[in-house]
Amino acid sequence: MRNGSSVTIYQVARAAGVSPSTVSNLLNGRPGRMLPATRQRVEEAIEQLGYRPNRTARQLRTGRTQAIGLVVPSVANPFWGTFARHLEGAALAEDYHVLLCNSEREPERERRYLEQLWDDGIRGVVLCSSLPSLDHVKPLLEAGLTVVAFDRTAQPGDPEALVNISVDNVVGAHLVTQHLLDLGHRRLAYVSGSLRAVNRQERYRGYLSAITDAGLDLADANAELSTSDTSYGDRDAAELGRARTVELLGSANPPTALVAMNDMCALGVCAGVRDTGRQVAEDVSVVGFDDILLAELCAPALTTVRQPLERMAAEAFQHLRAGIEGGAPLPGRSLLIRPELVVRASTAPPR
Amino acid sequence: MRNGSSVTIYQVARAAGVSPSTVSNLLNGRPGRMLPATRQRVEEAIEQLGYRPNRTARQLRTGRTQAIGLVVPSVANPFWGTFARHLEGAALAEDYHVLLCNSEREPERERRYLEQLWDDGIRGVVLCSSLPSLDHVKPLLEAGLTVVAFDRTAQPGDPEALVNISVDNVVGAHLVTQHLLDLGHRRLAYVSGSLRAVNRQERYRGYLSAITDAGLDLADANAELSTSDTSYGDRDAAELGRARTVELLGSANPPTALVAMNDMCALGVCAGVRDTGRQVAEDVSVVGFDDILLAELCAPALTTVRQPLERMAAEAFQHLRAGIEGGAPLPGRSLLIRPELVVRASTAPPR
DNA sequence: GCCGGACAGTAAATCGATGCACGAGTCTTT
DNA sequence: AAAGACTCGTGCATCGATTTACTGTCCGGC
């Protein structure tokens, strides 16, 4: 009795006076193969003995698991934490489990995780990878893994079977930059970690396009990019924002508005602004991206771009399920969500 | 070939010219049962074929899984997100997976999760439950589940086999309240959600004891408790703090210092302070608990009590592993970590 | 020369569920 | 009346790994 209670299908069968096959048939949506009376006897036996199927055995036999993998940079980042929560909620509703994997933005770790998940029988994964290339998942995709790439738009050269779900980063960054321009700002800067990540690059593109679309010259607008090439993790996004901001504001002709690659970074930027003795909004406008929970709690509340995480998580899960239960992965497709500008108190007209 | 590559132990055996048993013996740390030459042949075959053990089959046979469960109120809360990340890190180092479960503070959901985990073959769980009673895990404990109750000190009447890991909430709250008293504050208030959760109660006790230990009368110190009995989730902790604070500061003789049950709540309290046109620190001191990442980023940076999450997560995992691999659960025990006061900018002497 | 034991390795049962292939009985059809 | 078709099932191989019980073989000791 290593396994605790462990009522098996055989015991149910004996109790109901049928064969294990019949119990299995009932359990697997083939109740038509028996008389209603038999069916009831089996159901009673199941009830009585408190039978619960052994998922491991089932998985070994069928090759299917009721679990999906979630690979995120780090769930310590509230953005990913919130996403994880929503994904898990969607999964729970269909009796699926979620295996949590923090890649810490290390490619090698990410690869290792995916393989491990595959070995564990997982056939569907939400991959939140910032890597510019997803070639390393190709073998798994070919073997039959369903992968939803989240927060990463489809790239030329991506594996075919990939499903992409992402907010439109270009539009989002455009929106928020436009907002700053509308307020009258002309000297802007963009604060970002390494631009090797696809979504970061898109956001930067949106930022630039808003400036040029407004008929401004990039040089005139004094649009700067303050980045760092070392591979910053999430926990350091804020520190990065803080350090860069102090630098930027110390320069000769400092920007009056700062666009951060995401909210965590923006919080750091705000801290940096204060470090130099200035006030956010009054002296320097700051905007973020994501609309994490804290964006509206910090002082001043952050103007940012909202990602509808719950909807996106539900969508991601449904894709996975379709891929897993359909047996074959879905044909690759791309879902681009239109983000929403959320104006709060961290932006104001320049002095 | 449903299963992709799927090299089995049999194929390895054939390639090496031995029986499957021998391969298994090698794989399970019994290399002494064969000649070094044989051993090498098997190892070469494994290498050559790229064999990787099927964890599902292994689990079915042995009853053991290389996975643990993590039940938290909500990983959207940065505190739990950070804990999850550290736990996952500790697990990864030993090749364990982490199954993520958000209870959303719903007892029924928590119970359902635990059963599901058990059915899935999980034999070790970190349970972050705020429920005053853990009676519902008793059957699982008896069946052989190893449970580490995290952020919850041992309670009289708890199941025997429980391992508790928690920060000393009483001491922590005492420390931070003491700090306020040292600064000269005499009119304090405590802001908390429902006190039914064990740790919240302890923190409140620590708060009260600091006041009486200082030789003050509770009435003199004007120590108030502002709580709400509706079951607030994490995402609302901040809103609760905000709403209560506005109320408290609107009263006749408002407190000069506010102690929040945790950092999320404290962030809300800070927002509430500003809502009433006051300044945090200058007009009203605010303290939190946990020292989440954002505590030092928000403005002003939050004075709080640090929980050494990484160390605690590592400890929790080691207990689970011992419980799982030892076959039998460990005898119940309790680990109480001494927290550390972190003084930042949200506290100052009263006006 | 025979027994006991260490050594090197294997056969086969087992974990629990699944589902194909088959079968016995009953009803239709021509 | 024989052949087909349908109903209500069941037998058994199978998923991949583990592990117990066992078989030869060789060696040393008395």
Mark whether A36 and A98 lie in a shared domain. no
Binary contact (B100, A99; C-beta < 8 A)? yes
DSSP secondary structure code for residue A147 in this structure: E
Binary contact (B119, A55; C-beta < 8 A)? yes
Give B-chain residues touching A268 at CB under 8 angstroms: 297
Judge whether B2 lies within some domain: no
How does pLDDT run across B159-214, given as a tens digit for each residue? Answer: 888 999 999 999 999 999 999 999 999 999 999 998 888 899 999 999 999 999 99
- Into how many domains does chain A fold? 3
Judge whether A344 lies within some domain: no
Count of all residues that appear for chain A in the document = 351
Read off the CATH number of the domain in which A201 is found: 3.40.50.2300
Interface-testing mutation among A66, A95, A100, with chain B (most B C-beta atoms within 10 A): A100
Give the pLDDT of residue B226.
Answer: 84
Residue at token pair 């390639």: B15
Mark whether A74 and A202 lie in a shared domain. no
> Residue B327 phi/psi, 5° resolution?
85, -55
**pLDDT at B235 exceeding the cut of 60:** no
Distance separating alpha carbons of residues B298 and B275, to the nearest angstrom: 16
**Å between CA of A52 and C1' of D11:** 24
How close does chain A come to B217, measured CA to CA in Å? 34
How close does chain A come to B220, measured CA to CA in Å? 33
Which positions of chain A have pLDDT values less than 70? 1-5, 229-235, 327-330
Give the pLDDT of residue A33.
Answer: 85
Give the pLDDT of residue B35.
Answer: 93
Six token digits for residue A260: 């951060």
Could you give the residue ranges of the DSSP H alpha helices within chain A?
9-16, 20-27, 36-49, 55-62, 78-93, 107-119, 138-143, 169-183, 198-213, 218-221, 237-249, 263-275, 309-325
Strands (DSSP E) found in B64-212: 67-72, 97-102, 124-127, 146-150, 163-167, 188-192
Give the pLDDT of residue B348.
Answer: 97
Mark whether B134 and B246 lie in a shared domain. no
Which residues 6+ apart lie within 8 Å of A140 measured at CB? A114, A115, A118, A147
Judge whether B22 lies within some domain: yes
How does pLDDT run across B253-263, given as a tens digit for each residue? Answer: 899 999 999 99
- Give Cα A27 distance to the centre of its chain: 34
CA distances (Å), B293 to each of A262, A264, A342, B289, in order? 16, 10, 24, 12
Q: Among residues B261, B264, B301, which one has the least CA distance to residue B78?
A: B264
Give the pLDDT of residue A227.
Answer: 81
**pLDDT at B328 exceeding the cut of 80:** no
How close does chain B come to A118, measured CA to CA in Å? 9
Mark whether B125 and B215 lie in a shared domain. no
Judge whether B59 lies within some domain: no
Which residue segment(s) compose the domain that A19 sits in? 9-53
CA distances (Å), B232 to each of A321, B98, B105, B318, in order? 32, 26, 8, 32
Average pLDDT, chain B: 91
Portion 290-309 of B in contact with A at CB < 8 A: 293-294, 297-299, 301
What residue of A is the nearest CA neighbor of B80?
A76
Give the pLDDT of residue B267.
Answer: 94
Q: From its phi and psi, is residue A184 left (phi > 0), alpha (psi between -120 and 50) or beta?
A: left
Give B-chain residues touching A67 at CB under 8 angstroms: 99, 120
For B137, half-sphere exposure in the C-beta direction (CA atoms, 13 angstrom radius) is 32
- A187 burial level (CB within 10 Å; 0-12, 13-18, 19+): middle
Mark whether B300 and B193 lie in a shared domain. yes
- Strands of A257-260's sheet in order across: A224-227, A188-192, A257-260, A285-287
Judge whether A174 lies within some domain: yes
pLDDT band at B3 (very low <50, low <70, confident <90, very high): very low
How close does chain A come to B289, measured CA to CA in Å? 16
Judge whether B349 lies within some domain: no
How does pLDDT run across A322-336, given as a tens digit for each residue? Answer: 888 875 556 778 899
Mark whether B106 and B220 lie in a shared domain. no
pLDDT band at B312 (very low <50, low <70, confident <90, very high): very high
What residue of A is the nearest CA neighbor of B295?
A298
Could you give the percent of chain B with pLDDT greater than 90?
Answer: 70
Give B-chain residues touching A238 at CB under 8 angstroms: 293, 297
Mark whether A174 and A303 lie in a shared domain. yes
| Mean pLDDT along residues B36-46 | 95
Mark whether A229 and A162 lie in a shared domain. no
Q: Which of chain D's bases lie under 7 Å from a protein CB?
A: 7-12, 14-21
Which of B57, B63, B76 is nearest residue A81 as measured by Cβ atoms?
A: B76
Binary contact (A56, B120; C-beta < 8 A)? yes
Judge whether A323 lies within some domain: yes
Give the pLDDT of residue B197.
Answer: 87
Which amino acid type is present at position B293?
L
User: Does nucleic acid strand C have an atom less than 7 angstroms from the CB of B25?
Assistant: yes
Read off the CATH number of the domain in which A40 is found: 1.10.260.40
Interface-testing mutation among B88, B106, B110, with chain A (most A C-beta atoms within 10 A): B88
Sign of CA dihedral B309, B312, B317, B323: negative
Give the pLDDT of residue A1.
Answer: 36
Nucleotide minimizing C1' to CA distance for residue B63: C15
Distance separating alpha carbons of residues A197 and A205, to the nearest angstrom: 13
**Å between CA of B46 and C1' of D22:** 27
How close does chain A come to B296, measured CA to CA in Å? 9
pLDDT band at B233 (very low <50, low <70, confident <90, very high): low
Q: Among residues B77, B81, B75, B70, which one has the least CA distance to residue B237?
A: B77
Mark whether A136 and A227 lie in a shared domain. no
Binary contact (A54, B67; C-beta < 8 A)? no
- Give Cα A98 distance to the centre of its chain: 13
pLDDT band at B152 (very low <50, low <70, confident <90, very high): very high
Binary contact (B100, A70; C-beta < 8 A)? yes
Mark whether B99 and B15 lie in a shared domain. no
Mark whether B150 and B202 lie in a shared domain. no
Render A148-196 in DSSP notation, one character per residue: EEES----TT--TT-EEEEE-HHHHHHHHHHHHHHHT---EEEEES-TT
> Residue B314 phi/psi, 5° resolution?
-60, -45
> Residue A232 phi/psi, 5° resolution?
-75, 135
Do A62 and A32 meet the contact criterion of CB atoms below 8 Å apart? no
Q: Among residues A121, A48, A105, which one has the least CA distance to residue A72?
A: A105
Binary contact (A78, B75; C-beta < 8 A)? no
Judge whether A349 lies within some domain: no
Mark whether B296 and B315 lie in a shared domain. no
